[in-house]
């Protein structure tokens, strides 16, 4: 019997350890969406939305990503290209399998899902600890980012699947929603944001001060203005854009300010120096600056690896006798170069936006050990094409601890009051209010030309869509997504004709390219629904 | 295979040993006063048993029998003597005043016959009904391998072993009978001494091949069904060596040797490099103003200095292994204790692997009804060191500058090219990669008597503790001007508790064996990483993270649980008719809360030993014939934890300079997730003919896997990339042949061969219930799961060829793709399935020649019929910026190549360059000499074998690259920094047994 007791005891001990909950699964190290019930959780969700939004600009597995939105247009050509951007100037290579198109598609829908998760949570759950006002503020922020991404998708792809709520299980039966319906959805989101988002100086604060990179209502208004223009609603656009102007919260920068005030430079350039770019740093022209920090001092300073400097900056360091330095903007790769049209014929004399501080043109040997030290580098050989090409200084940045500079650590100028006037002029042109449009442009000209009105003044007879697009290039080069602007205005084909660059010329461009191809992988994975391809594209 | 040889056979061969015993015998006689004498004989043959242990029960007095099987010792007439001998049942005899005893020992038939470990027990080989492969002993010794799986590659039918990385200490991957699953783990479940190592966090790297006594692979549905949701991918059972009663056996096995490149993918030399650059500029339409791409190469070019970068990063590899074991035992207690030390210095600088292991296996008969035992082991792995980068070395310009003026490595040898830093960039880094496996397994077995005779209860408990640590520091020498340090720690704690009840009973010619199991398993895992950046200088390395300017930390924890019940009934009638029925019920925590977390897996197997039938006696040439058939169901739950739950990931973003925590969508969970089920049948035949000169096993099988744990890609419109679903069906069928032949049999010369052949056909049957392909995931119904779907390369566009009808955007030097749909453009619709990535068949051929004491073993291994994308064909836009291998050519307008594109080709279509990766390898050649006893006896040795062995001696293949089997990732992808060549090794080894 003794044996039996031993056996039974052992059996009992081991079996007793197994209760019903033995197989329950709890993720120890992850939050789930059920856990977002209070203001802290909501704040974290909004940061998460912005985090996923920033991935649109920091994708770095393909380093030519940012070039996709600039080359093959009037303003830029390929230089030291990677390869993702090749179909964006050799347009005949742009197919439904294109990586550029599928990347922007996925990146936008990821942000949209994140906004939907928060919006569903706020609209469908009680959340007793959150005030209605705070709820609406959070809804406004989420809806702003949702609208921002839907606007990108609508501009680039036309009719698109409209996912209005968070996805909770596999879904593969999407169809393309007509663009009018998409636009209405975007307008609703932005109208809500315009009303419920805080005024710019009422944004929430943290221990570093006011969080100006959280959404404010003028961001929603500026975007709404652009959406109305895309919808041919000139009057509505004008009305909403004028609200930004009449708020008197913003002003065009017309005097020097900020950290480099003692150095050579000009006031336009001051806005694009890291340390001067934020409203809290004295920039009264910015409506929205997306903030980046050096992760060596602030953990999680940015997502991905922003490639802006490497894409926009010249690769001068390839020239023997040149060393990397801050005044030349650190290490660029010249993945794109400004078109000759932009650098040679766009700007008029006296335009500060074309000053040597803003568009760098001449390079001098800067290695003291080199025999040619101090002499100007001649243009010779094919490589100087992007080694010492003229470049905008808007993305110049230099980290002496990391001269190789895998990432460019500099704030992004997302929305600027200067553009408000450009959009306003476009809205007025839509209504054929040419005098008003000229007046709007002249607001920018007063700032750009020190000798205004002797230089720079425009009149109603100057105003055409092409003129406004020219002016956008002058004002916003390096800032605006040029491809999106030209696709929005359906002018890509004609505008690209201005770019006569012989090296890596634009080929194969046609009206087909006023919309991007719906990604083939999406068509194929969406097996229970039909996503029609845009005309002119083959799979 | 667990074969017990009889000591008497071995000794009877040696006259010398006889002499030694004769000398010893009188010593025994002299020691006695009041003698009890006797002789011990085999009960059947009546031959004396030499070396049989004789012990006076309850005392430490004892002796062993001499050459004549005789013994004598001092004892009282009332004492009881215990006789024990390997391979025989223990015998207990009361002296009862006798002074001259004759003891007849009965052979232990269970031990004499080959027995096979089958999971939760052993079975006589002749009683096996399922498909179980035992690894031959030769593959378990005398080979320079650090992981036993490396030894069985090609040596067991139906097991595909792939060594994708030869980095010292990296383990190969294994697949049993093809791929069932698509996203869930497809590797077999590995059990060591009854305790699963697979889910404990341990790997077979923790087990020294020297300690392995036997290795069995369960393949068919019936054999694996007893492992339920862990069985579907096959089960590998490993049994380590244990002690046997008798005098201690002290054994040393060791080898040492050198390693080198099995195949060198030589980069271009200076002239070829210059030529390539010339063509590159010309093909890009760029004027050339320098003979070399970068000014940093000019000095060496002008001075005619070339650097062999591969040579610079390489060293002669050295591998050594030492294993010392002591085994033995007394009447009630048996032990096997071993220590093992492995040291491999890689052929690339900075790569090394050290392993130290200790093992203690003890069995004790505490009482006549209770046996307890332990299997304890401790393994310590060390892969320290900053490593060179092979890919970068192969990309370096021969004119690049290796050193700065001060002798330090120049960061950018091809200045100003910064895409490729020096291959020595991380070589000077401080890196410690450590892990331990502390494993304590124990069992207690109770035998019941009386009316419960035949009933046994066994409690089997395993506990595993696996701590790991990786500490790293990269500083100024690695071009990190801030200095970055991190320390990673992880801990895995797991336990397995099994209650096993067995009962065996005979009724006439019928024999029943029942096994019942109730078990629970848990694994807890946690890890943490602490990091810091911004150090004053590099002096403190990773030893003071607090001295860094910015601090980062992260951690993670999870838990896995499983519960199982199993019952198995074996029945045999007259050793002719065999049947096995099993049912297992498994529950696992990884499944969704909306599903039943349990699955039930039944199976049945039948066997017929035709040879044992009376009517077969007339076939004298036949020595064995058995037919087996089985059918059953097993499961797979091998997905990562928490896939059934939708989770958020945490991230950061700065606002006003303050780092702020964010939460965003991570994965889409599926609360209905459940196991995937594999149902399969197997028919096998075992045979032996011509006095077993030819023995073989042939198995054919077919299995279907349904409700696959499919990581289904979703339209990203959902915001997610994929979700796990139970959907779809795959099938595998195949044939496995194992043939052992004794080609030449003579007194001095013998030639034996083993032929292994296995072919598997894998097929996707369905995915989403509509038999439609999933193009986005490259899954095609009716084709293998893993295929290459790509354009068909027809050649290269030559100058002057008309591209307009086929690929209007192509230029001369571009790849000419077939316009399959004839629409005069190349689009994604011109892709097709080019082939499968798993081998269509694998095989091995072992030839062993023995001449007297010499033995030569030649092992060939092959894998045929698979395609693989060739990373060395695809440099995208880097072809002009880096050096490339000589073997990888490029098109020029002069050579009019039809196989390689021009250097300006940018591959915007993402063509993968699929190539046939079939190969045949001369895997191992071992020449050994077994010293005759008279030669070594004076040295105090019982056994001495010396051998030389060469591994990976030659590979026959059409593959262009480092190796068809090895994985070489492209720059920036996967583990590209650890690309490592396949090594060829030559070792000298000895196996010594002390007398």
pLDDT in tens, B774-828: 887 888 999 999 999 999 999 999 999 999 999 998 999 999 999 999 999 998 8
Taking a C-beta distance cutoff of 8 angstroms, is the pair B807, B816 a contact? yes
Taking a C-beta distance cutoff of 8 angstroms, is the pair B213, B953 a contact? no
CB-closest option in B561, B772, B777 to A23: B561
Taking a C-beta distance cutoff of 8 angstroms, is the pair B456, B445 a contact? yes
User: What integer pLDDT is reported at residue A13 of this predicted model?
Assistant: 47
Whether A416 shows a pLDDT value over 60: the answer reads: yes
Taking a C-beta distance cutoff of 8 angstroms, is the pair A509, A72 a contact? yes
pLDDT top residue among B3 and B620: B620
B457: closest chain A residue by CA: A7
The tokens for A73 are 């247009």
CA distance B834 to chain A (A): 19
CA separation for the pair B516, B568 (Å, rounded):
6
Taking a C-beta distance cutoff of 8 angstroms, is the pair B986, B976 a contact? no
User: What integer pLDDT is reported at residue A539 of this predicted model?
Assistant: 66
Contact A22 B715 (CB under 8 A): no
The tokens for B609 are 């030993």
Q: Is B730 exposed, middle or buried (0-12, 13-18, 19+ CB in 10 A)?
A: buried
Q: How remote is the C-alpha of B294 from its chain's centroid?
A: 46
How distant, in Å, are the alpha carbons of A42, B354, B988 from that of B851?
A: 81, 37, 20
Interface test with A, best of B533, B655, B714 (most A CBs within 10 A): B655
CA separation for the pair A337, A76 (Å, rounded):
6
Interface test with A, best of B588, B641, B715, B823 (most A CBs within 10 A): B715
* In chain B, residues 887-906 whose CB comes closer than 8 Å to chain A: 906
CA separation for the pair B366, B333 (Å, rounded):
8
pTM for the model stands at 0.80
Whether A59 shows a pLDDT value over 70: the answer reads: yes
DSSP string, B3-55: ----HHHHHHT-HHHHHHHHHHHHHHHHT-SSEEEEEEEETTT-PBPTT-EEE
Mean pLDDT on B148-152: 84
Contact B664 A11 (CB under 8 A): no
For B552-593, write each residue's pLDDT tens digit.
899 999 999 999 999 999 999 988 999 999 999 999 999 888
CA distance from start to end of chain B: 26
Q: How remote is the C-alpha of A234 from its chain's centroid?
A: 24
Taking a C-beta distance cutoff of 8 angstroms, is the pair B696, B686 a contact? yes
B444 touches chain A (CB under 8 A): yes
Interface test with A, best of B637, B671, B718 (most A CBs within 10 A): B718
For B435-481, write each residue's pLDDT tens digit.
999 999 999 999 998 888 889 999 999 999 999 999 999 998 888 88
Contact B662 A116 (CB under 8 A): no
Q: Where are the beta strands (DSSP E) in A74-150?
A: 76-78
* In chain B, residues 519-578 whose CB comes closer than 8 Å to chain A: 520, 533-534, 549-552, 555-559, 561-563
Q: Where are the beta strands (DSSP E) in B878-979?
A: 914-916, 919-930, 941-957
Q: Which residue has the tokens 């706020």?
A: A122
- Residues of chain B in contact with residue A35, where contact means CB-CB under 8 angstroms, are 648
CA separation for the pair B764, B731 (Å, rounded):
6
Buried/exposed B245-260: b ≥16 CB within 10 Å, e otherwise = bbeebebebbbebbbb
Mean pLDDT on B639-663: 93
Whether A250 shows a pLDDT value over 70: the answer reads: yes
User: What integer pLDDT is reported at residue B274 of this predicted model?
Assistant: 95
- Which DSSP category does A341 fall into? I
Mean pLDDT on A331-335: 94
Whether B367 shows a pLDDT value over 70: the answer reads: yes
pLDDT band at B110 (very low <50, low <70, confident <90, very high): very low
For B163-215, write each residue's pLDDT tens digit.
888 888 888 888 888 787 877 777 899 999 988 888 888 888 888 888 998 89
User: What integer pLDDT is reported at residue B33 of this predicted model?
Assistant: 54
CA separation for the pair B181, B785 (Å, rounded):
9
| Helices and strands in chain B: count of H runs, count of E runs | 10, 48
User: What integer pLDDT is reported at residue B113 of this predicted model?
Assistant: 61
Taking a C-beta distance cutoff of 8 angstroms, is the pair B669, B259 a contact? no
CA separation for the pair B918, A249 (Å, rounded):
71
CA separation for the pair B56, B32 (Å, rounded):
14
Residues in chain A: 539
DSSP string, A450-518: TTTTTTT---GGG--HHHHHHHHHHHHTTTS-HHHHHHHTT-HHHHHTT---SSS--BS--GGGGSPPP
């Amino acid at each position: 019997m003794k044996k039996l007791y031993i056996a039974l005891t052992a059996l009992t001990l081991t079996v007793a350890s197994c209760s019903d909950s033995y197989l329950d699964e709890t993720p120890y190290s992850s939050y789930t969406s059920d856990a977002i019930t209070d203001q802290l959780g909501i704040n974290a969700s909004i940061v998460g939305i912005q985090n996923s939004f920033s991935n649109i600009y920091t994708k770095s597995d393909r380093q030519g990503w940012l070039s996709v939105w600039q080359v093959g247009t009037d303003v830029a050509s390929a230089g030291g290209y990677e390869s993702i951007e090749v179909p964006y100037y050799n347009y005949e290579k742009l197919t439904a399998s294109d990586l550029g198109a599928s990347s922007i598609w996925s990146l936008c829908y990821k942000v949209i899902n994140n906004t939907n998760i928060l919006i569903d949570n706020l609209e469908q759950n009680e959340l007793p600890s959150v005030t209605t006002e705070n709820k609406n503020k959070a809804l406004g922020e989420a809806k702003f980012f949702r609208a921002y991404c839907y606007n990108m998708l609508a501009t680039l792809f036309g009719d698109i699947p409209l996912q209005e709520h968070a996805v909770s299980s596999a879904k593969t039966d999407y169809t393309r929603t007509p663009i009018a319906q998409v636009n209405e959805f975007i307008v609703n989101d932005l109208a809500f944001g315009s009303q419920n988002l805080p005024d710019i100086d009422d944004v929430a604060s943290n221990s570093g001060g006011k969080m100006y990179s959280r959404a404010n209502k003028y961001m929603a208004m500026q975007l709404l203005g652009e959406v109305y223009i895309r919808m041919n609603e000139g009057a509505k656009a004008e009305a909403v854009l004028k609200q930004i102007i009449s708020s008197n919260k913003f002003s065009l920068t017309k005097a020097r300010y900020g950290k480099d005030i003692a150095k050579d430079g000009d006031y336009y350039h001051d806005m694009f120096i890291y340390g001067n770019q934020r409203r809290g740093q004295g920039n009264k022209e910015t409506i929205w600056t997306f903030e980046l920090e050096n992760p060596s001092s602030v953990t999680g300073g940015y997502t991905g690896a922003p490639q802006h400097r490497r894409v926009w900056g010249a690769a001068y360091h390839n020239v023997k006798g040149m060393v990397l330095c801050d005044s030349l903007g650190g290490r660029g790769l010249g993945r794109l170069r400004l078109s000759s049209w932009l650098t040679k014929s766009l700007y008029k004399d006296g335009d500060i936006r074309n000053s040597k501080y803003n568009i760098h043109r001449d390079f001098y040997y800067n290695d003291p050990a080199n025999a040619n030290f101090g002499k100007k580098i001649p243009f010779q050989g094919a490589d100087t094409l992007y080694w010492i090409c003229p470049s905008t200084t808007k993305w110049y940045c230099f980290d002496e601890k990391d001269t190789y500079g895998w990432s460019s650590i500099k704030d992004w100028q997302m929305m600027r009051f200067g553009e408000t006037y450009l959009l306003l002029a476009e809205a007025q042109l839509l209504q054929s209010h040419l005098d008003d449009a000229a007046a709007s442009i002249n607001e920018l000209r007063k700032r750009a030309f020190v000798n205004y009105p002797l230089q720079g003044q425009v009149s109603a007879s100057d105003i055409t869509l092409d003129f406004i697009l020219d002016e956008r290039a002058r004002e916003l080069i390096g800032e605006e997504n040029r491809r999106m602007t030209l696709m929005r205005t359906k002018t890509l084909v004609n505008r690209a004709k201005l770019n006569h660059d012989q090296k890596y010329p634009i080929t194969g461009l046609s009206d087909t390219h006023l919309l991007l191809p719906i990604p083939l992988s999406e068509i194929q994975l969406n097996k229970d629904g039909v996503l029609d391809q845009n005309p002119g594209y083959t799979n | 295979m667990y074969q017990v040889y009889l000591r008497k056979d071995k000794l009877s061969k040696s006259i010398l040993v006889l002499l030694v015993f004769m000398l010893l015998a009188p010593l025994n006689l002299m020691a006695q006063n009041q003698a009890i004498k006797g002789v011990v004989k085999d009960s059947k043959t009546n031959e004396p048993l030499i070396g049989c242990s004789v012990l006076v029960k309850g005392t430490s007095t004892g002796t062993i029998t001499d050459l004549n099987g005789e013994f004598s010792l001092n004892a009282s007439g009332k004492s009881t003597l215990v006789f024990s001998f390997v391979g025989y049942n223990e015998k207990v005899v009361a002296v009862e005043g006798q002074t001259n005893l004759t003891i007849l020992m009965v052979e232990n038939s269970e031990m004499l016959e080959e027995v096979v470990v089958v999971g939760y027990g052993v079975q006589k080989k002749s009683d096996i009904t399922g498909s179980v492969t035992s690894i031959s002993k030769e593959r378990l010794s005398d080979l320079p391998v650090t992981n036993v799986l490396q030894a069985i590659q090609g040596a067991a039918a139906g097991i595909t072993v792939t060594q994708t990385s030869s980095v010292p200490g990296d383990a190969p991957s294994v697949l049993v009978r093809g791929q069932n699953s698509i996203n869930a783990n497809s590797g077999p479940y590995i059990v060591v001494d009854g305790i699963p190592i697979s889910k404990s966090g341990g790997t077979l790297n923790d087990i020294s091949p020297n300690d392995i006594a036997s290795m069995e692979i369960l393949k068919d549905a019936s054999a694996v069904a007893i492992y339920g949701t862990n069985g579907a991918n096959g089960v590998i059972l490993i049994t380590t060596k244990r002690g046997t009663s008798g005098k201690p056996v002290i054994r040393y096995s060791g080898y040492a040797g050198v390693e080198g490149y099995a195949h060198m993918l030589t980069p271009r030399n200076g002239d070829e490099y210059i030529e390539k650059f010339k063509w590159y500029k010309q093909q890009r339409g760029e004027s050339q103003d320098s003979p070399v791409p970068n000014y940093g190469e000019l000095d060496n070019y002008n001075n005619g200095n070339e650097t062999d970068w591969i040579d610079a990063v390489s060293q002669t590899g050295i591998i050594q292994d030492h294993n010392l074991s002591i085994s033995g035992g007394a009447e009630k207690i048996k032990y096997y204790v071993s220590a093992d030390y492995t040291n491999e210095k890689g052929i690339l600088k900075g790569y090394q692997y050290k392993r130290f292991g200790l093992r203690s296996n003890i069995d004790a008969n505490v009482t006549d009804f209770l046996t307890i035992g332990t299997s304890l082991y401790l393994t310590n792995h060390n892969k320290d060191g900053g490593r060179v980068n092979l890919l970068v070395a192969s990309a370096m310009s021969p004119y690049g500058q290796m050193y700065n003026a001060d002798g330090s490595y120049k960061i950018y040898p091809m200045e100003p090219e910064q895409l490729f830093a020096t291959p020595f960039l991380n070589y000077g880094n401080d890196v410690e990669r450590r892990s331990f496996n502390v494993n304590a397994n124990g069992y207690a077995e109770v035998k019941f008597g009386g009316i419960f005779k035949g009933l046994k209860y066994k409690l089997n408990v395993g506990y595993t503790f696996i701590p790991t640590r990786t500490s790293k520091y990269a500083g100024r020498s690695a071009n990190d001007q801030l200095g970055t340090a991190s320390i990673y720690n992880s801990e895995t704690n797991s336990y397995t508790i099994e209650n096993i009840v067995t009962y065996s009973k005979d009724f006439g010619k019928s024999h029943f064996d029942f096994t019942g199991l109730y078990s629970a398993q848990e694994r807890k895992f946690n890890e943490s990483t602490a990091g810091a950046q911004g150090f004053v200088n590099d002096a403190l390395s990773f030893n003071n993270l607090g001295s860094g300017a910015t601090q980062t930390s992260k951690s993670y924890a999870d838990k896995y649980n499983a519960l199982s019940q199993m019952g198995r009934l074996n029945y045999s009638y007259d050793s002719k008719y065999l049947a096995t029925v099993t049912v297992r019920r498994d529950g696992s925590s990884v499944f969704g809360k909306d599903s039943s977390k349990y699955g039930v897996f039944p199976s049945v197997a039948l066997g017929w030993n035709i040879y044992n039938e009376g009517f077969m006696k007339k076939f004298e040439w036949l020595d064995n014939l058995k037919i087996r058939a089985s059918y059953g169901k097993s499961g797979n739950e091998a997905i990562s934890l928490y896939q059934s739950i939708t989770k958020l990931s945490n991230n950061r973003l700065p606002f006003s300079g303050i780092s702020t925590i964010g939460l965003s969508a991570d994965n889409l969970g599926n609360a209905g997730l459940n196991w995937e089920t594999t149902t399969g049948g197997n028919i096998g035949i075992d045979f032996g003919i011509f006095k077993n000169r030819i023995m073989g096993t042939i198995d054919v099988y077919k299995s279907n896997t349904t409700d696959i744990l499919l990581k289904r890609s979703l339209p990203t419109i959902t915001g997610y990339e994929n979700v796990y679903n139970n959907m779809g069906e795959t099938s595998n069928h195949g044939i496995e042949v194992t043939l052992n032949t004794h080609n030449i049999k003579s007194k001095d010369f013998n030639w034996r061969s083993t032929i292994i052949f296995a072919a598997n056909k894998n097929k996707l049957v369905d995915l989403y219930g509509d038999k439609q392909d999933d193009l986005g995931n490259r899954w095609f119904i009716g084709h293998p799961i893993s295929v290459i779907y790509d354009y068909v390369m027809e050649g290269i566009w030559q100058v002057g060829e008309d591209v307009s009808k086929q690929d209007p955007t192509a230029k001369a030097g571009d790849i000419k793709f077939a316009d399959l749909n004839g629409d005069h453009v190349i689009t994604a619709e011109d892709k097709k399935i080019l082939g499968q990535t798993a081998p269509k068949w694998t095989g091995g051929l072992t030839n062993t020649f023995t001449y007297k004491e010499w033995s030569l073993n030649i092992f060939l291994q092959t894998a045929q019929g698979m395609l693989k994308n060739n990373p060395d064909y695809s440099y995208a836009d880097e072809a002009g910026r880096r050096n490339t291998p000589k073997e990888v050519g490029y098109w020029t307008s002069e050579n009019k190549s039809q196989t390689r594109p021009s250097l300006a080709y940018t591959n915007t279509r993402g063509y993968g360059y699929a190539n046939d990766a079939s190969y045949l390898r001369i895997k191992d050649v071992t020449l050994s000499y077994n010293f005759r006893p008279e030669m070594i006896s004076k040295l105090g040795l019982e056994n001495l074998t010396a051998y030389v062995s060469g591994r990976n001696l030659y590979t026959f293949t059409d593959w262009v690259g480092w190796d068809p089997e090895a994985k070489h990732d492209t720059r920036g992808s996967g583990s590209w920094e650890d690309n490592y060549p396949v090594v060829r090794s030559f070792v000298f080894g000895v196996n010594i047994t002390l007398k």
